[in-house]
Structure 1
Amino acid sequence: MLLAAISFLCYPSISCDAKGKVKAKHVILIGLDGWGSYSFSQADMPNVKKLMNEGAYTLKKRSVLPSSSAVNWASMFMGAGPEIHGYTEWGSKTPELPSRVLNQHGIFPTIFQLLRDDQPKAEIGCIYEWGGIKYVIDTLSVNYHEQAPDYQKFPKALTEMATTYIKEKQPTLFAICYDNPDHVGHGAGHDTPEYYTKLKELDVYIGQIIQAAKDAGMEKETIFIVTADHGGIKKGHGGKTMQEMETPFIISGKNIKSGICFDDISMMQYDIASTIATIFSLDQPQAWIGRSMKSVFK
């Protein structure tokens, strides 16, 4: 009778110990397009480095090939590489290869869809400067997605959109995708004074996003992730150099260990989705190949 009573109590939520507890109520992912790990030691980024020191990080996360945008943003959100999700090029809008599986929205499963299925009432958002992002996030799974105005004319627009959304909606999962420093990398070049000036500017924006979470009263229940799709070399990317392929992954906040460098652990682009799935205690699809960076959690 005692066992029956315990079973009855556990059954309605399917949780008790069957489904683990979430690590944090909120995740804010900030992606800087074209931010190579090679730049980190020289970059004047106090807000980012504070997150690094208070949390966990690696500078050895590798992009998938080719080391360019759409294929890597897709991998970041889809928990798999191009061989499986099918997005293979810089500007992929639809898969060049048939996706191995499709979800109910006709797209390869994304972290946004996994969270939506698990938490139907969750507030989920994604905003971006580069329009290619909207093709790889599964827009039917998010409450809010929007492209910022021309960031060359309105460089602060995306940050203003982000801080407003955070304060008004306290999102459960929110991805903020900047198109820089990639644009500067293509213009002035990677590893140039202009490139480092842009990183310094982006760090200010990241500080404002963190402050917005504080103002919204959600900072202590939030995990922040700062990362990139790829790096670059000279005025381009897409090749097989470490300058193009190695990007930072910094994770800090609720239930994250402090001052941990895990460069000794192999991390790939698609491991980001799996790590977020662990935060929300989500079961990842069989088609995903990502591995959660479980060592970063308390």
Structure 2
Amino acid sequence: MKKIVCIFLLYCCVVSTAFAASWKAKHVILIGLDGWGAYSVEKAEMPTVKEMMKNGAYTLEKRSVLPSSSAVNWASMFMGAGPELHGYTEWGSKTPELPSRIVSHYGIFPTVFGLLRDANPKAEIGCMYEWDGISYLVDKSALNYDKHVTEVKDNPAATAKLAADYIKSSKPNLLAVIFDEPDHVGHTAGHDTPEYYTKLKELDNYIAQIKKAVEDAGILDETIFILTADHGGINKGHGGKTMREMQTPFIMCGKNIKKGYVIEDSMMQFDVASTLAYIFKLDQPQVWIGRPMKKAFK
């Protein structure tokens, strides 16, 4: 019996290794900044982000789905489709307002987390977020690590620290780290204000800490970083149809990514999920409509 168990475990290890060998990278760190408008990138003091742009591929013209609000766009980013299909249509959607076109065995419209889990049961997958609305948009049972970072109320650096600790201890294949800023500053002080740019500078420092953790974990050469956002903003709000609200950055750098490449192809929010699926060689469900940014890869 012990021999059979050992053979089975060896088989699982070989299968897992074979999957990873075919991936574009063994590790992907997706960092999302809520309310980060593409209009701000040129003016912002974000040396880490701009170094990633220089050494990677990017577009400042990725468009949100409508409305240009949080839940509907994070859902689209994870689910490879728009609100007409996944059914999450509002800023704070916790359940689909429209019936999801299909529901996976995780009880939710298919996400990239569930696809990766089904394709490789031994994958290490994590998601941490400061806004609890994210928790309704991911298939939690597909995750090894699921964390709503409530500590950020007293310690703004908590999310970066938790992400760094998890990266160094578990070396995740896919980790999504979603900050709830600069959205709050955008709603209080306003977009395109000194306070907004101060917050972006602070967030750049957190991104640098996460990147350093990947380096310390010894997996930098096998990692792709993706930086993006759900929506931008104008004055003290968002949700409308201006480009300042709808256009967000998409920056990708690391293993197998072209350097200094400007993505000229049209990109939508749901193309993020498809690009992640492309990295991990996952078959897209028929209901997904996203397209991977293949030209950004070597």
Whether TM exceeds 0.5 here: the answer is: yes
Contact 1:123 1:170 in 2 (8 A): yes
Equivalents in 2 of 1:166, 1:114: separation in Å? 21
Deviations 1:25-66 (A, max 9, x none): 000000000000000110000001111100000000000000
The one-letter code of the counterpart of 1:24 is: A
Equivalents in 1 of 2:26, 2:234: separation in Å? 38
How far residue 152 of structure 1 moved from its aligned partner, in angstroms, is: 3.9
Equivalents in 2 of 1:153, 1:25: separation in Å? 34
Q: Which residue of 2 aligns with 1:245?
A: 246
How far residue 290 of structure 1 moved from its aligned partner, in angstroms, is: 0.2
SS of 1:292 mapped into structure 2 = coil
How far residue 150 of structure 1 moved from its aligned partner, in angstroms, is: 4.8
SS of 2:258 mapped into structure 1 = coil
| Percent identity (aligned) | 66
Matched, 1:34 2:35: yes
The one-letter code of the counterpart of 1:293 is: M
What does 1:130-209 align with in structure 2 at a 5 Å threshold? 130-209=131-210
Equivalents in 2 of 1:292, 1:236: separation in Å? 30
TM-score by length of 1: 0.93
Equivalents in 1 of 2:172, 2:131: separation in Å? 21
Question: How many residue pairs align between the two structures?
Answer: 284
Deviations 1:169-196 (A, max 9, x none): 0000000000000000001000000000
The one-letter code of the counterpart of 2:250 is: F
Equivalents in 1 of 2:45, 2:139: separation in Å? 34
Segments of 4+ moved more than 4 angstroms: none
Equivalents in 1 of 2:168, 2:22: separation in Å? 25
How far residue 110 of structure 1 moved from its aligned partner, in angstroms, is: 0.2
SS of 1:208 mapped into structure 2 = helix
Contact 2:106 2:114 in 1 (8 A): no
Contact 1:20 1:281 in 2 (8 A): no
Deviations 1:59-104 (A, max 9, x none): 0000000000000000000000000000000000000000000100
What does 1:1-298 align with in structure 2 at a 5 Å threshold? 21-262=22-263, 264-298=264-298
SS of 1:77 mapped into structure 2 = helix
Superposed CA RMSD in Å reads 1.7
The one-letter code of the counterpart of 1:155 is: P
SS of 2:67 mapped into structure 1 = coil
How far residue 20 of structure 1 moved from its aligned partner, in angstroms, is: 9.2
How far residue 154 of structure 1 moved from its aligned partner, in angstroms, is: 1.3
Deviations 1:217-240 (A, max 9, x none): 011100000000000000000000
Contact 1:184 1:194 in 2 (8 A): yes
Equivalents in 2 of 1:295, 1:20: separation in Å? 21
TM-score by length of 2: 0.93
Contact 2:187 2:236 in 1 (8 A): yes
Equivalents in 2 of 1:158, 1:204: separation in Å? 12
Equivalents in 2 of 1:51, 1:158: separation in Å? 20
Higher helix share: 2
Task: For structure 2, list consecutive stretches of 5 or more residues without a partner in the other structure.
Answer: 1-13
The one-letter code of the counterpart of 1:57 is: Y
How far residue 111 of structure 1 moved from its aligned partner, in angstroms, is: 0.2
Equivalents in 2 of 1:197, 1:100: separation in Å? 42
